[in-house]
């Protein structure tokens, strides 16, 4: 398997989240300075609107002709895709929305929040000050369930059948709930993504930054960065793990294989449409790649990319022939003309099977 770049262009500011639209020829991007509709073939974009802070996530609601976004201002916004006007803005968190997802059946939106504050002399996280996971009706914004977790909760995902929602936090704890009843039905805890600073600072850093259910919804793939003595260095190993999430018997099934990783924080996951492979990407601290494809059954690494920028979201086109990577390349200062150079990145890669 090889990845060949076919499209590469920039947006004004870094992209923190994105979602493909329709057949994969366009996407909606959550950027520092707003929400954008992006035409991948034309290498063109237009801004729909903005939040009062960075936009962290964006998704399409095609059955209703809408685009949804969530941001560090704790709000969710609804936009009409055709008229490109804002329909509604709703405050759902007191703190940031770290991550947002829309259920595959488009019925629900899930958003996660929370600030890590020391809760005791061992610096264990303080209890949540507001519900860490909120489920709302994706079309109307009506509350459905407030779900409890331990802040900060940084990643959220729905199962493929839209029956389950999972969320992972700073301390490597994943909880899984039934979307209809709001009952907790599973979960697990992995200590491998969280670092305790003993060199430059006393705090916890890290956690689970992205998660996806496997195609059969029986397991979860999570990613982040391996443990470090100095979390500020960012040199933990590029790490994914695969877990069965059943409360009765949670089990780590696989993880990044020895010799197949460098160093850096992994922030993006995508499952291929055929269910046979997955992609992981993020920031490169040391090594030869910051995006890689893995075989889902064996966990074996298939191919790699070194993009030269932080990758925050990955997505396969519905036909599985292309991989889209987005992110940001630094945060540059003004140039000689007094303008900020564009630093949001969009790349499209063709997937070619090895002969």
Q: In this predicted structure, what is the pLDDT of residue 355?
A: 64
Q: Quick one: which of 155, 158, 185, 157 has its CA closest to 173?
A: 155
CA distance 205 to 207: 7
Q: In this predicted structure, what is the pLDDT of residue 234?
A: 87
CA distance 297 to 197: 35
Specify the DSSP class assigned to residue 320.
S
Q: In this predicted structure, what is the pLDDT of residue 331?
A: 81
Q: Quick one: which of 318, 312, 321, 306 has its CA closest to 346?
A: 312
- pLDDT tens-place values along the chain, 355 residues long: 899 999 999 999 999 999 999 899 999 999 999 999 999 999 999 999 999 999 999 999 999 999 999 999 999 999 999 888 999 999 999 999 999 999 999 999 999 999 999 999 889 999 999 999 999 999 999 999 999 999 999 999 999 999 999 999 999 999 999 999 999 999 999 999 999 977 767 789 999 999 999 999 999 999 999 998 887 788 999 999 999 998 788 999 999 999 999 999 999 999 999 999 999 999 999 999 999 999 999 999 999 999 999 999 999 999 999 999 999 998 888 888 888 899 999 999 999 887 6
Q: Could you report the per-residue pLDDT of 7-36, keeping only the tens digit for each?
A: 999 999 999 999 999 899 999 999 999 999
3-state helix, strand, coil in the chain (%, to 5): 0, 50, 45
Q: In this predicted structure, what is the pLDDT of residue 39?
A: 97
Q: In this predicted structure, what is the pLDDT of residue 347?
A: 98
Listed in sequence order, the residues at least 6 apart from 337 whose beta carbon sits closer than 8 Å to its beta carbon are none
Q: Could you report the per-residue pLDDT of 273-310, keeping only the tens digit for each?
A: 999 999 999 999 999 999 999 999 999 999 999 999 99
Note the CATH architecture for domain 2-334+341-352.
7 Propeller (2.130)
Q: What predicted TM-score, i.e. pTM, was given to this entire model?
A: 0.96
């Amino acid at each position: 398997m090889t990845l060949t770049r076919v499209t590469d262009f920039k947006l004004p500011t870094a992209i923190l989240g994105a979602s493909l639209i329709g057949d994969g020829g366009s996407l909606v991007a959550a950027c520092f300075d707003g929400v954008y509709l992006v035409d991948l073939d034309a290498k063109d974009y237009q801004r729909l609107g903005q939040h009062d802070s960075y936009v962290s996530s964006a998704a399409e609601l095609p059955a209703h002709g809408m685009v949804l976004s969530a941001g560090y201002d704790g709000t969710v916004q609804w936009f009409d895709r055709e008229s490109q006007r804002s329909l509604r803005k709703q405050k759902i968190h007191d703190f940031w929305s770290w991550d947002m997802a829309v259920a595959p059946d488009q019925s629900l939106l899930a958003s996660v929040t929370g600030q890590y504050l020391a809760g005791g002399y061992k610096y264990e996280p303080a209890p949540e000050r507001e519900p860490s996971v909120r489920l709302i009706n994706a079309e109307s914004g009506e509350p459905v369930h407030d779900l409890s977790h331990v802040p900060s909760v940084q990643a959220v995902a729905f199962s493929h059948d839209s029956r389950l929602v999972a969320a992972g936090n700073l301390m490597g704890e994943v909880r899984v709930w039934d979307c209809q009843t709001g009952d907790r039905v599973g979960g697990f805890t992995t200590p491998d993504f969280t670092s305790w600073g003993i060199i430059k600072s006393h705090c916890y850093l890290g956690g689970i930054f992205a998660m996806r259910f496997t195609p059969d919804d029986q397991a979860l793939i999570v990613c982040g960065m391996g443990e470090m003595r100095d979390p500020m260095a960012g040199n933990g190993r590029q790490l994914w793990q695969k877990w069965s999430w059943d409360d009765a018997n949670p089990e780590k099934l696989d993880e990044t294989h020895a010799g197949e990783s460098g160093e850096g924080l992994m922030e993006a996951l995508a499952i291929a449409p055929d269910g046979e492979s997955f992609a992981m990407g993020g920031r490169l601290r040391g090594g030869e790649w910051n995006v890689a494809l893995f075989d889902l059954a064996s966990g074996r690494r298939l191919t790699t990319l070194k993009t030269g920028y932080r990758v925050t979201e990955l997505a396969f086109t519905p036909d599985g022939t292309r991989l889209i990577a987005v992110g940001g390349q630094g945060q540059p200062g003004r140039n000689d003309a007094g303008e900020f150079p564009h630093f949001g990145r969009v790349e499209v890669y063709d997937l070619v099977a090895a002969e």
